[in-house]
């Protein structure tokens, strides 16, 4: 029995999270098919066809799928579900939204946020904000899985699968897209960035975030934040890193004015190198930091900008 990976994309480009999730999905048994549902997204299907290990791409190109609303997406996927033992998607806000709806319609269980595939039916996933790892086995005919992309390497783009256009299904018609307010940024996307610079409550106000942005620009980094910084309105909600925000695992994570609550650590402790800048030497963030600097951020961050300049950045 095969695996269906539902691609995450913006109708123009396949997301990096899908490229990583393909690596996980390829370990889930049978042929790997990718579903690209969207509007005007044929180019995305062509990209998906290059993913290593993919046998076939299904393209559902219809206005109702443009925003990946849960109701039409699940109607579509339920109609395709025969022949698939596993239906998977990245654990993005889209996937988290539609996947449990698909699972319930198919009367199957969902395994959320999978970080390791032990065999086609056995998975690891974090629980309690990553303070425990659960190994779970599903022995039923069907299952839904959301994949934590940061736990997997990107699939190679050496494949050449065929693309089959498929028809749309009936829209349940109970939901409608109204508008969106997307955060504009020229910096890399937070979950895929090689370097992330995050600020917390210690930043004191949104006006001080440009300090971090200057560092981010030197390092080609994305900017993130703690929940406290988002709640205080310093930065938009989609900056939040943590148990209930985004999970990141960059090469370098720099936490500035962040105490290191378990809910924050849950979103960044798998980073390769962690730097913490905090004036309180007792702050829990120092327990996970590879390099800790006990200092006032308002002097340390401008100094960091200068020192990075000195090494040619």
Mark 90-119 with x for binding to other proteins (rule: CB under 8 A) and - for no binding. --xxx-xxxxxxxxxx-xxxxxxx------
CA dihedral angle for residue 58, residue 1, residue 75, residue 7, rounded to 10 degrees: -40
Q: Does 300 bind other proteins (CB under 8 A)?
A: yes
Verify binding: residue 89, ligand FAD, rule CB under 6 A: no
Nearer to other proteins, 20 or 53 (CB): 20
**Does position 278 bind ligand FAD by CB under 6 A?**
yes
Q: Nearest CA to 17 among 221, 182, 263, 249?
A: 249
Output the DSSP codes for 74-100: HHHHHHH-TTEEEEEEE-SHHHHHHHH
Q: Is 205 in the site for other proteins (CB under 8 A)?
A: no
* Residue 258 near which of ligand FAD, other proteins, none (CB within 5-8 Å, type-dependent): ligand FAD
| Site of tokens 């095969």 | 2
Residue 12 binds to other proteins (criterion: CB under 8 A): no
Q: Which of residues 52-81 bind other proteins (CB under 8 A)?
A: 67, 69-71, 74
- Among 57, 12, 69, 43, CA closest to 159: 57
Pick 85 or 300: Cβ nearer ligand FAD: 300
DSSP lists the bridge partners of residue 277 as: 256, 293
Among 128, 156, 210, 296, binds other proteins (CB under 8 A): 128
What burial class does residue 159 get, using C-beta atoms within 10 Å of its C-beta: 0-12 exposed, 13-18 middle, 19+ buried? middle
The partner in contact with residue 101, picked from ligand FAD, other proteins, none with C-beta cut-offs of 5 to 8 angstroms by kind, is: other proteins
**Shortest distance (Å) from residue 159 CB to other proteins:** 26
DSSP 154: P
How many Cα atoms within 13 Å fall on the side-chain side of residue 190? Answer: 23
Please say which residue, 170 or 296, places its beta carbon nearer to ligand FAD: 296
Residue 229 within binding range of ligand FAD, rule CB under 6 A:
yes
Q: Of 42-50, 59-67, 176-184, 291-299, which part binds ligand FAD (CB under 6 A)? A: 291-299
Distance in Å, CB of 301 to ligand FAD, minimum: 9
Looking at the Cβ atoms of 138 and 300, the one nearer to ligand FAD is 300
Task: Tokens 């609303």: give the residue.
Answer: 69
Residues 182-221 within binding reach of ligand FAD (CB under 6 A) = 200-202
Among 189, 280, 290, 307, binds ligand FAD (CB under 6 A): 280
Q: Does 12 bind ligand FAD (CB under 6 A)?
A: no
**Using an 8 Å Cβ cutoff, are 110 and 145 in contact?**
yes
Nearest CA to 265 out of 132, 152, 130 is that of 130
Q: What are phi and psi of 252, to 5 degrees?
A: -140, 125
Contact string 137-156 vs other proteins (x = CB under 8 A):
xxxx----------------
Q: For residues 133-158, b (16+ Cβ closer than 10 Å) or e, as one string? A: eeeeebeeebbbbbbbbbbbebbeee
| Among residues 240, 250, 252, 254, the one that binds ligand FAD under rule CB under 6 A | 240
């Amino acid at each position: 029995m095969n695996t269906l990976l539902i691609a995450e994309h913006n109708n123009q480009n396949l997301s990096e999270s899908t490229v990583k999730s393909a690596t996980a999905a390829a370990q889930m048994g049978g042929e790997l098919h990718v579903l690209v549902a969207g509007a005007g997204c044929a180019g995305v299907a062509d990209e998906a066809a290059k993913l290593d290990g993919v046998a076939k791409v299904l393209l559902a190109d219809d206005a109702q799928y443009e925003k990946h609303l849960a109701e039409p997406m699940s109607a579509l996927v339920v109609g395709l579900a025969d022949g698939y033992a596993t239906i998977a998607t990245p654990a993005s806000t889209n996937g988290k939204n539609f996947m449990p709806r698909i699972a319930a319609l198919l009367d199957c269980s969902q395994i959320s946020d999978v970080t390791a595939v032990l065999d086609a039916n056995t998975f690891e996933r974090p629980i309690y904000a990553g303070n425990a790892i659960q190994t779970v086995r599903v022995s039923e005919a069907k299952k839904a899985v959301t994949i934590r992309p940061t736990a997997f390497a990107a699939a190679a783009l050496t494949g050449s699968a065929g693309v089959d256009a498929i028809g749309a299904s009936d829209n349940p018609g109970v939901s409608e897209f109204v508008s969106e307010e997307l955060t504009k940024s020229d910096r890399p996307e937070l979950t895929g960035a090689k370097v992330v610079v995050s600020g917390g409550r210690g930043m004191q106000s949104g006006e001080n975030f440009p300090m971090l942005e200057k560092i981010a620009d030197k390092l080609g980094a994305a900017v993130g934040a703690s929940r406290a910084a988002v709640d205080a309105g310093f930065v938009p909600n989609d900056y939040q890193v943590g148990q209930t925000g985004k999970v990141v695992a960059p090469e370098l994570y720099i936490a500035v004015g962040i105490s290191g609550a378990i809910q924050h650590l849950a979103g960044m402790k798998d980073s390769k190198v962690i730097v913490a800048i905090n004036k309180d030497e007792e702050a829990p963030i120092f327990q996970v930091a590879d390099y800790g600097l006990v200092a006032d951020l308002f002097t340390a961050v401008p100094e960091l900008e200068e020192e990075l300049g000195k090494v040619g950045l």
